[in-house]
Amino acid sequence: MYPDKATQALFVLLRSGLWGTSPDDLAPFPLAPAEWDAVHAMARRQTVTALVYRGLGLLPDPLLPPDALLMRWVAQVASIEQQHRRTNVALGRLYDMFRRQGLTPVLQKGQGIAMLYDEPTLRECGDIDLYFPRSGEWERAARLIETLGIPLQRMPDGSVSYIYDGVEVEHHTRLIDLHNPAMRKPLARLEAQCGYRTVTLPGIPDQAITLPSPMLDLLLLDTHIMKHALGRGIGLRQLCDMARACHHHHATADIDTLQATHRKAGTLRWHRLLHTFMVEHLGLATPLAAPLATSASLLSRVLAGGNFGLHRPGAQAPGQSIWQRKLSTARSFVRNARFACRYAPQESIWTFLHLLTGQIK
């Protein structure tokens, strides 16, 4: 199933850290120092360094990595935990500012999903993604950030990005990453029907953070992973998020509605592939879809590219011009056409057209 012992060990430790259980397969151990270096490098590329470290803590002592690597790993986990807390503080300040202006941001993924983990600070931070459901709020929020003297970067998909308190923030124009025009009204109805919920996060106990309902959370995570899998690539962190969400929400999720939404969007086969992967490789015990025979096609994409495909050979490099980035995006979709047509043919076409339009603009 895996190309080598190091990769097999990575998944053993990741499952252990993800669920807080003893390693389910000690066959790849012990590892040579070079193999441990490979495990560590893969964990970093996949942005699951702290989760894999949690799995290390459940290994028998004789099977642990060399002390020098272990100490480096400890320092990296401490840094991940600090960044998680800093991101929560920045998020709290953003919410306070927006709420004072009468705005109603909804937090997508990220720090909200981290709350579904046993130890939220071990979930490595990305950016802060916000969605504004009320008409006109997206524009007002963007103007408010500009009044602070913070430059905005306009993205090809219509979102804006900026740095706030040292944390990257994005404002999105849609909650769910489905671009098929036929899905516009069904998704609007689903959003109105399911609504949102509020939570408080560690470090900001006095600030209520709005999150999508469990049903919307599941659909949001699923389609977000799909969009990146169809494009430049996807890594294990997002797949772990989905697994934790399934584990946490499966008892309250309307599985029939979830399946019907994917069927209407033409993404049901993708939905089944994703759940097959989570069962086979992440140890998910509560899948929400019937499995396929194998998830090998998704596994190969995850291993090849790492976090958002950034480690794939020939991936977009820092310093590329705007047109080089545009060409890289187009090439990603062309290269993945066979995968896309097999698992999400309709949505892949509409996603490509949406990004192409944005790139031209």
What is the per-residue pLDDT across 303-329, written as a single tens digit (0 to 9) for each? 997 776 665 665 555 555 555 555 566
**Burial class for 57, CB neighbours closer than 10 Å (0-12, 13-18, 19+):** exposed
Give the pLDDT confidence score for residue 324 in this predicted structure: 57
CA-to-CA separations, 52 to 56, 175, 240, 295, in angstroms, rounded:
6, 30, 11, 21
Residues 240 and 117: their CA atoms lie apart, in Å, by 9
The larger pLDDT score, comparing residue 360 to residue 227, is at: 227
Q: What are phi and psi of 206, to 5 degrees?
A: -95, 5
Q: What pLDDT digit, counting tens, does each position of 187-213 carry?
A: 999 999 999 999 988 878 788 899 999
Give the Å distances, CA to CA, from 115 to 45, 106, 201: 23, 15, 8
Share of the chain above pLDDT 70, in %: 90
Of the ranges 174-178, 228-232, 239-243, the best mean pLDDT one: 239-243
Share the mean pLDDT of the chain: 90
Residue pLDDT, tens place only, 149-200? 999 998 877 789 999 999 999 999 899 989 899 999 999 999 999 999 999 8
Residue ranges per structural domain of the chain:
97-212, 213-361
User: What CATH number was assigned to the domain covering residues 97-212?
Assistant: 3.30.460
Q: Check the CA dihedral 56-57-62-67 and report its sign.
A: positive
pLDDT given for residue 15 in this prediction: 98
Structure confidence at residue 98 as a pLDDT band (50, 70, 90): very high
**pLDDT attached to residue 40:** 98
Average pLDDT over residues 36-51: 97
CB atoms within 10 A of CB 110: 17
What is the number of H-type helices and E-type strands within the chain? 15, 7
- In single-letter form, the type of residue at position 229 comes to A
* pLDDT above 90 for 242: yes
Alpha helices in 251-292 (DSSP H): 255-265, 268-282
DSSP 311: T
* pTM, two decimal places: 0.92
Task: Report the length, in residues, of the chain.
Answer: 361
